[in-house]
Structure formats: structure tokens, C-alpha cells
Amino acid sequence: MMNYGDGDADAPAVHAHDLTVVRGGRTVLDALTCHVPRGRITGLLGPSGCGKSTLLRAVVGTQAHVTGTLDVLGRPAGAPALRPRIGYVTQDPSVYDDLTVRQNLDYFAAVLHPGRAARDHRRAGVARALADVDLTRHADVLAGRLSGGQRSRVSLAVALLGTPELLVLDEPTVGLDPVLRRDLWNLFRALATDRGTTLLVSSHVMDEAERCDRLLLMREGRFLAEDTPQALRDRTGAPTVEAAFLHLVDRAATAAPHHDTTTQEPAR
């Protein structure tokens, strides 16, 4: 097994080995091994229920019953020192409806950088996060009056406030129209290219896979493949990542027709 130190610039942002999570007696993540390179967009793709959210929660340190190795930015996942270095956006936007967009951001900025001395820093950070998600024009609108897509962008803006090294996004484009989806992917690309941010983005929309530098294709708690979109297409002879995914599913089904993820462990 590889050992990476905190200061190792070549170290992946996330390194998992034999990562297993049991939920309610079911093995939801089954001995996963993978790495997420720094400064790139890694897509975690797979059908609903395959374990994407569980893996993301393990990476940010909020998932119980994790075994195996999981290092994040050179530390064990969940280490308190990682908190300010990781931005996490869940599927349900965490936004206060009775505050405006700006007040939401001001509040979270004050939690991150408290004190009078940080006032200008907070103000600049809020303005930048608003611009990042294209909500400057809506800054003074109550969050409760926003559309679903706008609310999820407020959540993303909150995650960007701390200038995280690692941004973990759980299905960030669900429910967004094609224009907003494109704009968000352009933002993700800019974050990786201009700020060196590492992005780990889950999706079950296969066309989004084409926009990633690297893919983790997941099914039933296991990885079917870990590669670049181009390599996946080449390897399977498929014209799209979606077709490559289906090809790999069929191949896995032939190799192991009855994959049972049920374990004998007690229910938790």
C-alpha cells in the first residue's frame, strides 16, 4: 500500500483502499480501492442507490461504520484539521429560507472567519462566491423565494466560501435546466483550472461524465472501472461513456451473475 504525507504534492486528494461501509446489515461499499487526483474533476457515476452518496459521505467524514483505508488531503478522512479544507454540497440544499442569499452567505462566512478583523475578508469572499454561482443579481432575494436550481447554487456558494482544496458535490445538477447545467460545469472546470481545486462530483447523468477528467464508474457498491472518459471509450469500443458503462455492466454480469451484497453482520 502507498503512503502519502500531507506535504506530498503528487499525492492524490483522496486515496481509498479496501474501503467498506456496512449500512443496516448491507455492504453498501464493498472493498473499494481508488484515487482522486488533485486539481482535476473526478466524476463518480452510477445508477441511483449504487452507493455514491455513501462514498462521498465517507470522504467528508460523516459516514459511520467505515473500514479500510481512506486518506483525504494526506490525513485520515474525518480528521478535524480537514474541515476547513473541504467543501461539501449535499443533495438537499442547506439554506435558511428566511434569510436573503447574501445573509445566508454572511452567516456562514462569519462562522468560518469570525471577528471584526476579518470583515473585509468576509465581504470579499461573499462577493466572490456570489459571482462564482452567478447569483449576484439575486443577492437580496429571500432564499425561500428562489427556484430549486437557485437554492442549490446558494448551497454551492456556501461551500466555495472557504476556498476549499477539495470540493465534494453530490448530484449538483439534479433538476437544473440545460443552460444552468452547462454554466455549472464551466464553473467546475474554472475552479479546477484556475484555482487548482480538486472536484469529486457524483452524477447519474452519463453525459456529464464526458466533462470529467477522470471517472469512477460504480455499480452495487463496487467500481466497474476507474479511468479517463477517452480510455473507457477506447477500451470498450463504445462511442460514449454511457455505452461504455453499459458494456462494462454486461461484462460484469457475465463474469459474476449473482453478486449478492448482503452480509451476515448485525443490522446497524
Stretch that binds ligand ATP, among 6-14, 51-59, 115-123, 233-241 (CB under 6 A): 51-59
Stretch that binds ligand ATP, among 23-31, 105-113, 123-131, 153-161 (CB under 6 A): 23-31
Query: Which position has the grid cell 442547506?
Result: 94
Q: Which of 23, 65, 75, 113 binds ligand ATP (CB under 6 A)?
A: 23
Q: At what angle do helices 148-161 and 119-132 cross, to 10 degrees?
A: 140
Minimum gap (Å) between residue 268 Cβ and ligand ATP: 8
Stretch that binds ligand ATP, among 49-57, 140-148, 183-191, 240-248 (CB under 6 A): 49-57
Alpha carbon separation from 243 to 53, 113, 185, 233 (Å, rounded): 23, 46, 22, 8
- CA–CA distance, 237 with 232 (Å, rounded to integer): 8
Q: Which of 15, 35, 40, 52 binds ligand ATP (CB under 6 A)?
A: 52
Per-residue contact string for residues 189-228; x = within reach of ligand ATP by CB under 6 A = ---------------x------------------------
Alpha carbon separation from 20 to 156, 165, 220 (Å, rounded): 28, 25, 12
Q: Which of 8, 18, 49, 114 binds ligand ATP (CB under 6 A)?
A: 49
Q: Show the DSSP H helices in the chain as ranges.
A: 52-60, 101-112, 119-132, 148-161, 178-195, 206-209, 229-236, 241-255
Query: Which position has the grid cell 462577493?
Result: 127
Stretch that binds ligand ATP, among 46-54, 68-76, 79-87, 248-256 (CB under 6 A): 46-54
Stretch that binds ligand ATP, among 44-52, 69-77, 227-235, 252-260 (CB under 6 A): 44-52
- Quick one: 143 or 224, whose CB is closer to ligand ATP? 224
Rounded to 5 degrees, φ, ψ at 61 are 90, 20
Please report whether residue 65 would count as binding ligand ATP according to CB under 6 A: no
Please report whether residue 51 would count as binding ligand ATP according to CB under 6 A: yes
Radius of gyration, CA atoms only, the chain:
19
Q: Which residues contact 158 (CB under 8 A, 6 or more apart)?
A: 89, 94, 95, 104, 105, 108, 129
- Quick one: 83 or 204, whose CB is closer to ligand ATP? 204
Please report whether residue 26 would count as binding ligand ATP according to CB under 6 A: yes
- CA–CA distance, 195 with 21 (Å, rounded to integer): 32
- Quick one: 54 or 236, whose CB is closer to ligand ATP? 54
Minimum gap (Å) between residue 206 Cβ and ligand ATP: 13
User: Greatest CA separation found in the chain?
Assistant: 63
Please report whether residue 264 would count as binding ligand ATP according to CB under 6 A: no
Confirm if 164 and 200 have CB atoms less than 8 A apart. no
Chain residues that interact with ligand ATP, rule: CB under 6 A: 23-24, 26, 28, 46, 48-54, 204
